[in-house]
Amino acid sequence: MKTTFIAITTLTAMMWVGCSQEEQSAADLLKDEAKRSEIMHAIMDDHHMMGEWMAEMKKSNHAMMMMKGNHEMMHQMMEGDKEMMGSTMGHMMDAMKGDSSMCNAMCDMMMKDDHMKSAMADMMQKKVDMKANEKQPPQPHNHAH
């Protein structure tokens, strides 16, 4: 009987303590640096949640302004990951194909940059030279016997 009384009292006390704890708000959780870091890593490490996070960022004017304004972060992301850079460049090319004003703005920007202008001119000249070589008939070989 004494054991049953102690067990019931302990169980009641545990339930009372458990029920009396208030649920923390998101703001309260994020105040704790360790919890905030844990939450951010949980989102980053989950493909589905990261997709949701990115979709929410696109809806936020503040987030989009921060992304546009953070050229250094964007540069670091692309510099360290050639695959990401290629993918980003491919998306930009596709966007420019469908938007002539964007295409013109990019061309103007490249023409104002001496390095880019020179690189494009060199590439175009190489292409012209390759086409000219393709059009020339093969030269007969002189074999001295």
Per cent of the chain over pLDDT 70 is 77
Q: Which two tokens stand for residue 61?
A: 């004017």
Total number of domains constituting the chain: 2
CA distance 4 to 14: 15
pTM: 0.44
Average pLDDT over residues 117-134: 86
Q: Is 44 exposed, middle or buried (0-12, 13-18, 19+ CB in 10 A)?
A: exposed
CA distance 41 to 100: 40
- The residue behind tokens 């809806």 is 59
Specify if 40 maps to a domain: yes
Average pLDDT of the chain, as a whole number: 79
Q: What is the pLDDT of residues 65-110, one digit of tens each?
A: 887 777 777 777 777 777 877 788 888 888 888 888 888 888 888 8
pLDDT at 132: 80
Determine the structural domain holding residue 115 and report its residue range.
96-130
Domain end among 45, 65, 85: 65
